[in-house]
Structure 1
Amino acid sequence: MKADFPLTRFHVQIIAASGLLMVAAFSLLFSFFFIETHDQLASRAQARVTRVLSGLVEYEKRNSFDELLRFVRSEQIWDDPDPPFVSIRLPNGETILHTSAEVSPVAAWGASKLSIRSLTVGWGLSSRLVHVASAPLNGGEILVGMSEVKSARARDWAIAGFALLTLASLATVFAIGLMLSGRSRQRVNEMTSTLFDFVSGNTDRRVPMSGHADRLSDLALAINGTLDYAQRLLWNLNYMTADIAHNLKKPLTRLRQRLELVSKCEFGNADLSRKIDEGIEDIDSLVVIFEALLNIGQLQSGDRRSRFVDVDLCSLLHHIADIYEPIITDHGHNLEVSLTSQQVRPVSGDRELLLEMIVNFVENAIQYCPEGTTIRLALRQLRTGLEVVVSDNGPGVPASEIEHLFERFYRLGGANEAKQKAGGHGLGIPFAVAIAELHGAYVEIEDNRPGLRVVIHFPNDPFTRSQLGLRLRSGYGVTPSS
């Protein structure tokens, strides 16, 4: 069985497409915002570098070179959270003052010779630009530089905001998709449950209609219409079968009574008497067939499920073994009983019908197996449910004919033909299968090598999707033994 995921492939595709579109839109907005902000902060940094440089040059002109050095070394003038740095060197190129710890004098003075008058410090997301500008002094040369701390901080905030906004948007899209998928899955599950209920015999169940006009509503309407039509066909078929059976059963009964009266008369012709007796037997056979067909129709309608009670299969099999052990012995067969020693759960069902189903397979083994055959009756408890096994080591059934045993009126030919003419109409196994399906069970007939093995499976949860999904119509599968 396939894994049941909370999202369908369609919803995953929709969520993925929506997420990609949102990420692309946010990326464009982030890029525009970042570029605009970065340009503005870079222009401000360059303008400030130019202003500070001009001010220091004017200060040196009004005072002296040594006074400028003392002024720059004073920490009070740089009372700023984002101060520029100053580098002063002599005419011979010796740097006598440099206030930056992150940019070396060589790198700073080297950047001042470039046309862009900037350099990059740091790596990755921690990298930022440093803008520099230089001018000559009376006693040497001065350079003023400024790192884009505000720009880097703004960039970091922008990246963090972009990441959080993207994650929040994707989470919102996923939550919306999950909610929509949950609604769709709920409605699909209602449809699936309705169909399985219909298959299990609850033909009055219909898909509840929602107030939304969408494709699922159209599908629900189509399913309900199909189930209405199928229910009408079932009713018509059951009524027609019942009418035919009842309308034919009465005249056949009257005909049998007349033939019995005629058979009591004295005839000099023995052949005529024999034919009258054969006619009575044929009428009895037709009546039995009609009764069997009516019973199968009633079972398939599921009406008897309302009378189910808890049935102990272990006790039921003991009861069958006690009754049929002398019968099996009289036919020259042996009976082996193998029942689980564990405490088994009861099965919800009709005890008489379950008894009739199992007895049907036991009697088939008695009737169609030669003397000396061992008939085995077993009960096994598995993880998925209970199994009742009726097997023998007789001649068995050809593999090509096992599947046909589930067909109505099918009877094996060959060596068993005489026995089948003596009794049986090819409705025993279909009737047993109908009983099994009424109880949510299914029947498998396998080659016992030698002989035949009938396995009746009783799932733990017979009318749930997980069980019915394994076999939509129980009783028609053929599983070869390994």
Structure 2
Amino acid sequence: MNQISPFKSSAFRITLVYVVLFGISVSIILGFIYWSTIVYKTQQTDDDINAEILELTEVYEQKGYPGLVILLSERIERLRPGDPTLYLLTDHRYQPLVGNIYPWPKVARDVKEGWLEFRLEDGERQGVDGEFTARAKTFVVENRFNLLVGQGMKDLTTLKALVGRALIWGLILTLALGVIGGFMMRQTLRSRLGAINQTSRKIMQGDLRKRIATRGTGDEFDELANNLNSMLDQIEHGMEGVRRVSDNIAHDLKTPLARLKNRVEELRLRVDPGSEEEAAVDQIIQEADGLLATFNALLRIARIEYSEQRKGFSLVDVNSILSDLQELYEPLIEEKGQSLSVQIGGPMEIYADRDMLFQALANLLDNAIKYTPDRGQVSIRSAKSEGQWLVEIADNGPGIPESEYEKVVQRFYRLDQSRTTPGSGLGLALVFAVLKVHRLELQFADNMPGLKVQIIADPAVVTKPLIHESDGDTQGRAVYLPGTQPA
């Protein structure tokens, strides 16, 4: 299975967008909560200060400076420890007259309309230690006195810190939940799309009976799977129709062609030996044999593809087949002056039909000998590598262009340089059908010069038997045991 880069994965991008939008929206909400809380508390403080100033102003207007001093003194005496209220009355030189903070704030910045924000150092407020921020409003009384009324912002500072920490942790928790939710969404997408892709790959490998599983939820993925399954049903129906037409044609023409060949052979007995008529009749018989071989190959491929022969599968020693092939083809190789190299690896037993597998390997070896020039080299090799079994047949003939690898296993497909040689273009199609039934993989490679044909097997798959059962169709289907997968 091909692994897609996370940055190229649509599921990853959707998850990333989801997490970013989720984080932004939550940040906006939490930021608004923080801002509204602090603004509300600050506004409440300002309202309390303005109310104090309004009351002190009324007292000053009614009772003058003495009344103002008396009121400030009384209020300062009534303050409890920890009360945030601040008072300070000074002369025009900012010398303290009455108040609970000393001296007039040295480090201060004007905000607006006489508002100040400053820090109180240790001991600057009567009865209270520690540093904290204060907010106050000042104004001048009769150009002789400066009055400051404010409140300590220690509670507000603490509230800011608490709310800030709560918002930060809330944002972290929200992003974590967003990431988890996004990851779960990505896994769901990957799971559903992965099932579709896995089934699609098996269909592309030629198993048109595969269908995409649905979960019965009625969601968009089920709708997509149903549509794809309907499309596959139509494609399979069309392909089966084409196959059956070609197979029926082959089957229907085989009998009259065989009768025609028999009559031509009877005619041959009546012509004079060595005459031109005999040569013509021999050529007709040869062409008839070629047509019969083509029809037989078509019917053979059809039977293999329809899985009619899976019932006879048993454990077969692949190396023994290779040894038999060596013994069978050595006379032909010697006749052409070619050399044959055989390297047999360790034991290699698979569940197979021995006759079918022998025919497929024989076709590959026959092609290698056929296209290898005189005094050329042909090799057969079996080996175990990286957890896989390999059977390789190689030659140093003209080879096959890489662009043609996928085409040469199609029925009747022949390379341009092969059209002048006898054959129907069904040999590799038959090999491909046999290997597919046996859950084996066919690969081509450049032998520089020549061609390497490799048959690759997964021991975990090919060493387990198939259970064949009817599915109501006349063709039947193959069911794989747990832990196995078709090639």
Normalised by the size of structure 2, how large is the TM-score? Answer: 0.71
Task: Give the whole-Å Cα distance in 2 for the aligned partners of 1:228 and 1:114.
Answer: 79
- How far residue 228 of structure 1 moved from its aligned partner, in angstroms, is 1.0
Task: Give the whole-Å Cα distance in 2 for the aligned partners of 1:92 and 1:287.
Answer: 126
Partner of 1:456: 455
Partner of 2:475: none
Is the Cα–Cα contact under 8 Å of residues 241 and 294 in structure 1 kept in the other structure?
A: no
Partner of 1:479: none
The letter for the 1-side match of 2:381 is A
DSSP 3-state at the match of 1:153: helix
Is the Cα–Cα contact under 8 Å of residues 88 and 95 in structure 1 kept in the other structure?
A: yes
Task: Give the whole-Å Cα distance in 1 for the aligned partners of 2:280 and 2:12.
Answer: 70
Task: Give the whole-Å Cα distance in 2 for the aligned partners of 1:439 and 1:263.
Answer: 44
DSSP 3-state at the match of 1:223: helix
Is the Cα–Cα contact under 8 Å of residues 11 and 189 in structure 2 kept in the other structure?
A: no
Task: Give the whole-Å Cα distance in 2 for the aligned partners of 1:359 and 1:298.
Answer: 19
Pairing 1:205-284 to 2, within 5 Å after superposition = 205-265=210-270, 267=272, 270-284=275-289
The letter for the 1-side match of 2:292 is V
Residue among 363, 386, 395 paired with 2:366: 363
Partner of 1:31: 35
Task: Give the whole-Å Cα distance in 2 for the aligned partners of 1:311 and 1:90.
Answer: 114
The letter for the 1-side match of 2:227 is A
Task: Give the whole-Å Cα distance in 1 for the aligned partners of 2:217 and 2:158.
Answer: 50
DSSP 3-state at the match of 1:7: helix
Partner of 1:290: 295
Task: Give the whole-Å Cα distance in 2 for the aligned partners of 1:358 and 1:147.
Answer: 95
1:43-81 deviation line (CA, Å, top 9, x unaligned): 3366579989999xx9x969x99xx7xx98x9xx76533
Is the Cα–Cα contact under 8 Å of residues 49 and 150 in structure 2 kept in the other structure?
A: no
1:352-371 deviation line (CA, Å, top 9, x unaligned): 43333222222222233333
**Residue 42 (structure 2) pairs with residue 41 (structure 1):** no
Task: Give the whole-Å Cα distance in 1 for the aligned partners of 2:175 and 2:403.
Answer: 60
Identity within the alignment, %: 20
Partner of 1:192: 197
Indicate how the Cα distance of structure 1 residues 80 and 322 shifts in structure 2: closer, same or farther if over 3 A, else same.
farther
Partner of 1:81: 82
Is the Cα–Cα contact under 8 Å of residues 372 and 378 in structure 2 kept in the other structure?
A: no
The count of corresponding residues between Structure 1 and Structure 2 is 443
The letter for the 2-side match of 1:435 is V
1:338-365 deviation line (CA, Å, top 9, x unaligned): 4556x77x65654443333222222222
Residue among 114, 117, 121 paired with 1:116: 114
Is the Cα–Cα contact under 8 Å of residues 82 and 149 in structure 1 kept in the other structure?
A: no
Q: CA RMSD in A?
A: 4.8
Task: Give the whole-Å Cα distance in 1 for the aligned partners of 2:332 and 2:395.
Answer: 15
DSSP 3-state at the match of 2:281: helix
| 90-99 vs 444-453, greater mean Cα deviation | 90-99
Instruction: Select the structure with the greater relative contact order (CA < 8 A; seq sep ≥ 6).
Output: 1
DSSP 3-state at the match of 1:107: coil
Partner of 1:469: none
The letter for the 1-side match of 2:17 is Q
Task: Give the whole-Å Cα distance in 1 for the aligned partners of 2:282 and 2:306.
Answer: 37
Partner of 2:379: 376
Task: Give the whole-Å Cα distance in 1 for the aligned partners of 2:35 and 2:336.
Answer: 93
| 238-247 vs 397-406, greater mean Cα deviation | 397-406
| 299-308 vs 91-100, greater mean Cα deviation | 91-100
Task: Give the whole-Å Cα distance in 2 for the aligned partners of 1:231 and 1:41.
Answer: 79
Indicate how the Cα distance of structure 1 residues 165 and 270 shifts in structure 2: closer, same or farther if over 3 A, else same.
same
- How far residue 291 of structure 1 moved from its aligned partner, in angstroms, is 1.1
1:110-150 deviation line (CA, Å, top 9, x unaligned): 6799843422449xxx98443266899xxx98866532112
**Residue 157 (structure 2) pairs with residue 152 (structure 1):** yes
Is the Cα–Cα contact under 8 Å of residues 337 and 377 in structure 1 kept in the other structure?
A: yes
Partner of 1:431: 430
Is the Cα–Cα contact under 8 Å of residues 45 and 148 in structure 1 kept in the other structure?
A: no
DSSP 3-state at the match of 2:452: strand
**Residue 391 (structure 2) pairs with residue 388 (structure 1):** yes
| 264-273 vs 282-291, greater mean Cα deviation | 264-273
